[in-house]
Structure 1
Amino acid sequence: MHQYDLIVIGSGPAGRRAAIQAAKLEKKVLVVEQGRRVGGVSVHTGTIPSKTLRETALNLTGWRERGFYGRSYRVKQEIHADDLRRRLLITLDHEVEVLEHQFARNRVQQMRGKAHFIDPNTIEIQKTDGEVLRVTTASVLLAVGTRPYRPPHIPFDGQYVLDSDELLEIKDVPRSLIVVGAGVIGIEYATIFSTLDTQVTVVEPRETMLDFIDKEIVEDFAYQLRDRNMKLLFGQTVEKVERDAGQNKCRVTLKSGRSLQAEMVLFAAGRVGATDTLNLAAAGLEADNRGRLKVDPETFQTSVPHIYAAGDVVGFPSLASTSMEQGRIAARHAVGAPASEPPQYFPYGIYAVPEISTCGLSEEEVIQRGIPYETGIAHFRETSRGHIMGLDTGMLKMIFSLKTRRLLGVHIVGEGATELVHIGQAVLNLKGTVEYFVENTFNYPTLAEAYKIAGLDAWNRMGEGPKEAPVATGQSTDTTATAAPVEVVSEKKKAASK
């Protein structure tokens, strides 16, 4: 007999959701967390800290009010690192308290320490108090997350040359910052510090950024960043990073020969799975060159049937929201309970300034599939709510099939994008058409009115031409519009992993 039905290694979004789901099915569950407190990367160095930092920066700088009161308007004239950290600590305490209560309420056992495999069903745990013990389990879920990629040629010192984890511990807000990497994390932090009036330069070896986002949205986003004097250097590779203590500067030399200077350098060019201490070989597993594990996309099983993996450690999309759902599905499958398939369309949120959120197919993916389509666009400045809020930027774009008139994708850049996207997500998954947006009533004045404006824009371009009656089964006769979602994921995964 095994001591546990399920052992979960890691207590981030995937781990905690899996543990609670298995416990609700009356299974004996153990969560092993090597950090001082539960929550994983999401709570302590990733999702929650970065979003809290963003909100704090927007509030203290008065960023949202500058449309009315001018660019010099600030709520607090001098903003220090301690001002940013104060709200962060309060938020983290709350998140940990909620999670601890959830574990206690559902009778999930916890243990602090480092875990590794002895064999496929035996885990050895080196507890933080020094005790070493072995436990056996029927199933295992690996939800260890990722950590920043730290190449050996970058002289990280935790003070002037930092990774994204170390950035949360800075003592002063830099006057200038070079961000290496224009992925999601790099862009989020770059735009957050830009709101604090830090002079920001972004260096990216690719010719563009955020390749998995609709190109028109990225172009609008890049225009807004350059408009506020951020430098975006695409197609540039970092050759050397040096610290000049005498001038209190960091120097970044590019392969092109160009030299950049700033008070601080943030290296945010990728992350690697935290699997190197698990002794995967003893379980019959092997990670890829980035420490990630390959799983079945429907059950999240690894190549060893009773061992599962979920969350960032399995790669794209690496979102807290999708990680939670992956953990829940994996846990149900692991304990023999029926589990639904992962949703076909999920929202992707980028908490930059401004926000970006997307769901469904991009225009590039629609063209690649050969689907006849039309788009509708609304600018936030066209809405009364946008005027009230002082917005002069922000746009919402929807893509519709000309054959079935169904919504294929929704893409938003601007204030509240990560909230607004859920309206489009619901219509998308319920196979709604352009008529929903034209005929429906939205609260006035709201930013959600942009859906009606964009819907009317598309409807006017499409006309009332012939449209097919809905199929009784709820499935479209436009097979190109509902091609296997695996193709969507594979394209985005390919772009996101570059």
Structure 2
Amino acid sequence: MSTYDVVILGGGPGGYNAAIRAGQLGLKAACVEGRATLGGTCLNVGCMPSKALLHASELYDAAMGGEFANLGIEVKPSLNLAQMMKQKDESVTGLTKGIEFLFRKNKVDWIKGWGHIDGPGKVTVTDSAGGKTELSAKDIIIATGSEPTPLPGVDIDNQRILDSTGALSLKEVPKHLVVIGAGVIGLELGSVWRRLGAQVTVVEFLDRICPGVDVEAGKTLQRSLGKQGFSFKLGSKVTSATTSANGVQLRVEPAAGGEAELIEADYVLVAIGRRPYTQGLGLENVGLATDKRGMLENKGHRTQAPGVWVIGDVTSGPMLAHKAEDEAMACVEQIVGKAGEVNYELIPSVIYTKPELASVGKTEEQLKAEGRAYKVGKFPFTANSRAKINHETEGFAKVLADERTDEILSVHLVGPSVSEMIGEYCVAMEFSASAEDIALTCHPHPTRSEALRQAAMNVEGMATQM
């Protein structure tokens, strides 16, 4: 039996960051991961490969759709899908190898296989050949992540009916792709294949896209995607799917009840969310049980079992890689006696479509429901100089500030590169900044970031740019 200070189950953003931080703090750490590569869903079949395809498909669409021609760039592009997938895979490989390097640098052991908790401080790892390795540790961190949520009546085979992993590796561009679920994953992967030439229909149970985001921001994004060729069937549910050699026939009904219709597609992407990966971990051996969603409770990243911690998608909070990373560092710092903590009020969220949608803090609807008195400052990208000359004027910046103190309560951005700009407000809000603080801060001209300042200025009706 190998003995460690801490054993981490899972090598995704939560697990590998926990392992690296443990090594940095002088702990003897082991990370248990059964995939052939480190990085979990995010690096292997999630965040990273999807962004590689979003970037490539956006450039292809710009060349094909007339944007290049409008700029005076005359090209006749052709799609080499195999090369597009190859560069995506090469990028992912580089990232996963980078984590292996950081493990070696920080003296972290990667135990290849699947971990099972046998009791307090005891983990058995089973590798792909069936071999077993026994580990002991003072502390165990569960960071096993999540998996796609299945949809009853629609069986995923990753041939015609795909999950997010299958949608990242298609060998051809769909003629008609139906996306079930209008959340982040569905809209991003739908954007990839729409840009490459597919007809895309999104079926969503609710009467709006992007559940949980600011309603005004969500409606703005939906209008933009509609202009790009997305078709939306909101307030609808898929009740069955029949596959054939060449496609899928879906039965779609109104969510509120009513007459069904049949939709034909050659591929279907099921993207209704993700569920925690907590089955088969041996939780019962340390007296732990999940809720009906499969999640583990935590209090300051601790479970009810002494010496067992939990971070990332397997516990409460948004299923986001950067949330898991924050929890990883805070968790390990608590293990060594430091005061690690996560500010859950300031975890940003991003949808990497075009335009992008990024936000931090509560939605306007949540503030209204709380009875919080607030002021609104908005600024459209149509009035931003850099956005105008780049022909990317859809969207806006919206700042919500406390009516009495002017403290920034939340920010909602729809527009070009807003994923790179939301961090400014995350920092500002961490220091309890006021809208006036941003309004008085000089921003470079001409940049898209000026819209952030102008929105803050407009909290008091003082925007100056056009």
**CA distance in structure 2 between the partners assigned to 1:410 and 1:283 by the alignment:** 42
Which whole-Å CA distance do the structure 1 matches of 2:342 and 2:228 have between them?
43
Cα offset, 1:338, TM superposition: 3.3
Q: Distance in 1 between matches of 2:185 and 2:131?
A: 37
Deviation at 1:402, TM superposition (A): 1.9
Change in Cα spacing, 1:149 to 1:80, as seen in structure 2 (3 Å) is: farther
Specify the alignment match of 1:109 in structure 2: 109
1:415 pairs with 2:413? no
For residue 180 of structure 1, report the CA deviation from its aligned partner.
Answer: 0.6
Q: Alpha-carbon deviations, 1:205-233, whole Å to 9, x = none?
A: 11222232111101111111112231111
Could you say which residue in structure 2 is the equivalent of 1:493? none
- Which region of structure 1 is more displaced relative to structure 2, 110-119 or 129-138? 129-138
- Does the aligned pair in 1 maintain the 2:43–2:95 contact within 8 Å? yes
* Correspondences of 1:101-250 after superposition (within 5 Å): 101-151=101-151, 153-245=153-245, 248-250=246-248
Note the 1:297-376 alignment, pairs <5 A. 299-342=300-343, 344-376=345-377
Q: Residues of 2 paired with 1:273 and 1:76: CA distance? A: 45
Contact kept, 8 Å, 1:65 with 1:389, in 2: the verdict is no
Matched with 1:488 is none
Paired residue secondary structure (1:173): coil
The match for 1:400 is 401
**Letter paired with 1:285:** L
> When the two structures are superposed, what TM-score results if normalisation uses the length of structure 2?
0.93
Moved segments of 4+, more than 6 Å: 73-76
Which residue matches 1:252?
250
Structure 1 distance, partners of 2:64, 2:425, is: 25
Map of 1:34 onto structure 2: 34
When structure 1 is superposed on structure 2, of 183-192 and 234-243 the one drifting more is: 183-192
Which position in structure 1 is the counterpart of 2:256? none
Do 2:10 and 2:143's aligned partners in 1 also have CA atoms closer than 8 Å? yes
Deviates more, 1:369-378 or 1:106-115: 369-378
- Specify the code of the residue in structure 1 equivalent to 2:269: L
Instruction: Describe the shift of the 1:74–1:62 C-alpha distance in structure 2 as closer, same or farther (beyond 3 A).
Output: farther
Q: Which residue of 2 aligns with 1:466?
A: none
Mapped to 2, the partners of 1:24 and 1:434 lie a distance apart of 38
Calculate percent identity across the aligned residue pairs: 27
Contact 1:8/1:140 (8 A) holds in 2: yes
Aligned with 1:336: secondary structure? coil
Instruction: Note the C-alpha offset of 1:301.
Output: 0.8
Aligned residues: 458
Deviation of residue 277 (structure 1)? 2.1
Provide the rounded CA distance (Å) in 1 between the counterparts of 2:247 and 2:440.
Answer: 58
Q: Structure 1 residue 289: deviation in Å?
A: 2.8
Deviations 1:93-145 (A, max 9, x none): 11012111110000001111111111122111112344212111111001111
Listed as ranges, the gaps of 5+ residues in structure 2 are: 254-258
- In structure 1, the gaps of 5 or more residues are 463-498
**Cα RMSD between the aligned structures?**
2.3
Q: Is the 8 A contact 1:142 1:307 kept in 2?
A: yes
What's the TM-score, normalizing by structure 1? 0.87
Q: Counterpart amino acid of 2:237? A: T
State the Cα distance separating 1:149 from its structure 2 match: 1.8
Number of the residue aligned with 1:262? 265
Q: Are the equivalent residues in 1 in contact too, given 2:238–2:251 (CA < 8 A)?
A: yes
Does the alignment pair 1:292 with 2:331? Answer: no
Preserved CA contact (<8 Å) 1:6 1:335: no
